[in-house]
Amino acid sequence: MPNQTLDLLKELDIARQNKSEKQYSELIRLLPEEYSKINISNMNSRFEIINTPLAGLKLIHRLPLRDSRGYLERLFCSQELETLLGEKSIKQINHTLTVKAGTVRGLHFQNSPDAEIKMVSCIRGEVFDVAVDLRNGSPGFLKYHAEILSETNHKTLFIPEGFAHGFQTLTENCELIYFHTAPHVAKSEGALNVLDPLIGIKWPILISDLSDRDKNHSMLTNNFKGLNL
């Protein structure tokens, strides 16, 4: 996301907390069209939902309530995020710590019937977070989108079924929280190689660490037709 857009979202947060409807409305009109909101008109919302270039993949901007003590932040709300989740519900919450900067994890997904929606937030450090569209017939097939998630920018990547996910740590001691709509099912695991040339992810820094398992994931071939959900 461009810095100017991120600055506008921060100003929206301030206007919302100050209950300045006029300023809030003016700022909304300044946002680029590609960052259109689903719930932007609701000043009381604790989330702003932002479209990405890949259909269904969303960026959620969490809106903390601040005062002199610090802030209170909502990580999840089934009511406010119902437009994204539909009839799905959160079945599992996972937490990872990655110690070394430059480490890459991924690119992981689950096959049907255990395909899952995944919501990823960084609560410590900073990561380059990536989602790859694997949906058969999708206009975005084999394209990827990446966002910087950090402990300070209050962003969550909402990853629909049919996407692979991975990330690279940009700082040491990164902690991520994952909300899943399906439990982990080992027999349904799938993965892509993080260096697959058919995807061509431009990792921002030199890869310093990669598990043997992730290192040995197969490369895609031109015969790969994607996932059927």
Asked if 124 and 212 touch (Cβ cutoff 8 Å), the reply is no
Active site residue 71: no
Q: Are 147 and 158 in contact (CB under 8 A)?
A: no
CA 40 to chain centre: 19
Burial 70-104 (b: 16+ CB within 10 A, else e): eeeeebbeeebbeebbeebeeeeeeeeebeebbbb
Q: Tokens 């043997």 — which residue? A: 212
DSSP string, 21-81: HHHHHHHHHHS-GGG-BSSTT-TT-SEEEEE-SSTT-EEEEE--EEETTEEE-----TTTT
- The DSSP element (H or E) to which 169 belongs, if any, is strand 163-169
Task: Write down the catalytic residue from 35, 61, 108, 184.
Answer: 108
CA distances to 61, 109, 151, 160, 204 from 154, rounded to whole Å, are: 6, 24, 6, 20, 20
Q: What is the DSSP letter of 219?
A: P
Give dist(CA 57, CA 39) in Å, integer: 16
Name the token pair of 226. Answer: 């994607």
Known catalytic residue at 24: no
Catalytic residue among 24, 145, 178, 180: 178
| Residues 157, 59 contacting (CB under 8 angstroms) | yes
Residues known to be catalytic: 108, 178
